Chains A and B, each alone.
Chain A
Amino acid sequence: MPKKGMMVVVQKGKITMTITIGLVCFVLVYIMFIQFRVIEKTDIAEIEDLREAELTEKLADWKTKCEELEKQIKEKEEKIDEYKKSAETNEEASELLEKELKQSRMLLGVTKVTGDGIIITLEDNEEHEITATLLIELINELKLAGADAISINGERVVNVTDIVEITSGDIIMNSGKNINSPFEIKVIGDQTYLDSALNVKNSGFADKYSKIGYKIKIEKVKDLEIPKYNGKMELKYIK
């Protein structure tokens, strides 16, 4: 039989032992269950064939690839930024170009234009017939007076325009379009300037010819519309 003091020691030892063994069991089962779940959740069929080293190698491979791709993305983004910047400047340039193009087209006569101007009406009468030379003289004078755009009976006068009299009283312009009296000449330009230029005493077109007996009418019109040139415009010999 153990003595009383020994009994207390044994009792104390028993309690620590109980707790310790309980703890040990807890740890063991805890770890085991974690392992069970790890194995359960892992797609073993896929991984089983590969050794761990291979897997780590693969992982490292993918990681470097990922890093590389990230670097590439960064580079591309920088490039995009650059392009965006240059695109902005390009836009300005292209706007300017477009403006210039628009102006050039208007000057060339391949677009319909509107603006304030005057309409001159010439009509044949018993005494005088309007000739091509007369029309050319008029157009010349209008150009001198700063006309932006001119049309005769709806035909735009451009730099390749020809006005020719085939037989008396039969005038063609713009390579074959017949025009007949009454001639309605639309001009866009400074209204007062044009008007006064035509009416200069003795040398202005209107003044000079109306004195002789031509029938000339000039009226100022707002928002005059002049159609575009319809014919072909091409360079054949200029190199």
Chain B
Amino acid sequence: MVLFSIILGCIIGAILGSKAPIIPYTYSGYLAISIVAALDTVFGGIRSTLEGKFDLKVFVSGFFGNAILSILLTYLGEKLNVDIYLAAIVVFVGRMFTNLSIIRMHYLNKFTKKKEVAKNSK
């Protein structure tokens, strides 16, 4: 059910996104940083799901909150002539890798456990 809605959302998003009007290049930087923030939240959500701590409110607020906050920070950096978005990218991508590694560990553990269980049962 959830998987189905994810796939459907992705497909509709791809179709509509490829037909949407193009925004000016100046604003594409903001869009990129918000995409990175959103992706970070998504991986965080996957991780918390695997850990059984998934909370929809946290996920949604993180998704939009992080995206908007990162845009605001980038804007501030633009005004201050400091590349704040670099820091945001470092944080988000760093967290993304952490989350990914945790997800990987989780599945590895599951896999090895299954194997052990299979061995033990033999």
Interface residues of A (CB under 8 A from B): 13-14, 16-39, 41-42, 47, 52-53, 55-56
Known contacts A32-B35, A38-B23, A38-B31; decide if A17 and B2 are in contact (CB<8 Å). yes
Is B38 on the interface with A (CB-CB < 8 A)? yes
Specify which of A23, A28, A37 lies most central, judged by the most chain B CB atoms within 10 Å of its CB: A28
Known contacts A20-B56, A23-B9, A28-B42; decide if A33 and B14 are in contact (CB<8 Å). yes
Is B18 within 8 A of A37, CB to CB?
yes
Q: Which of A27, A35, A42 contacts B13 (CB 8 A)?
A: A27
15 further interface pairs, Cβ-Cβ under 8 Å (given A27-B38, A29-B10, A34-B31): A14-B1, A17-B2, A18-B2, A21-B6, A24-B60, A25-B10, A26-B9, A33-B13, A33-B18, A34-B17, A35-B35, A36-B17, A37-B20, A38-B31, A52-B29
Is A29 within 8 A of B60, CB to CB?
no
Specify which of B13, B56, B63 lies most central, judged by the most chain A CB atoms within 10 Å of its CB: B13
Residues of B near A42 (CB, < 8 A) are: 25, 28
Report 7 cross-chain contacts, Cβ distance below 8 Å, ordered by A residue: A17-B56, A23-B9, A24-B59, A28-B35, A31-B17, A38-B31, A41-B22
Known contacts A17-B2, A28-B42; decide if A34 and B10 are in contact (CB<8 Å). no
Residues of B near A56 (CB, < 8 A) are: 26
Q: Which of A31, A33, A39, A55 contacts B38 (CB 8 A)?
A: A31
Per DSSP, chain A at the interface is helix
Q: Which of A16, A31, A34, A55 contacts B56 (CB 8 A)?
A: A16
Interface residue count for B (Cβ, 8 Å)? 34
Residues of B near A47 (CB, < 8 A) are: 25
Is B99 on the interface with A (CB-CB < 8 A)? no
Q: Closest 9 CB pairs between A and B? A: A33-B17, A29-B13, A25-B9, A22-B5, A26-B9, A22-B9, A30-B13, A26-B13, A30-B17
Interface residues of B (CB under 8 A from A): 1-2, 4-6, 8-10, 12-14, 16-18, 20, 22-23, 25-26, 28-29, 31-32, 34-35, 38-39, 42, 56, 59-60, 63, 78, 81
Known contacts A20-B60, A33-B14, A33-B20; decide if A38 and B28 are in contact (CB<8 Å). yes
Distance from A19 Cβ to chain B, minimum over Cβ atoms (Å): 7
Is B26 within 8 A of A24, CB to CB?
no
Could you tell me the distance between the alpha carbons of A32 and B28 in the complex, rounded to whole angstroms? 10
CB closest residue in chain B, given A24: B63
Distance from A80 Cβ to chain B, minimum over Cβ atoms (Å): 37
Per DSSP, chain B at the interface is helix
Distance from B89 Cβ to chain A, minimum over Cβ atoms (Å): 14
Residues of B near A25 (CB, < 8 A) are: 5-6, 9-10, 13
Known contacts A20-B60, A24-B60, A42-B28; decide if A32 and B5 are in contact (CB<8 Å). no
Could you tell me the distance between the alpha carbons of A22 and B16 in the complex, rounded to whole angstroms? 14
Distance from A163 Cβ to chain B, minimum over Cβ atoms (Å): 93
Could you tell me the distance between the alpha carbons of A55 and B24 in the complex, rounded to whole angstroms? 12
Could you tell me the distance between the alpha carbons of A29 and B31 in the complex, rounded to whole angstroms? 12
Residues of A near B34 (CB, < 8 A) are: 31
CB closest residue in chain B, given A23: B9
Residues of B near A53 (CB, < 8 A) are: 78, 81
Is B42 within 8 A of A34, CB to CB?
no
Is A22 within 8 A of B8, CB to CB?
yes
Residues of A near B20 (CB, < 8 A) are: 30, 33-34, 37
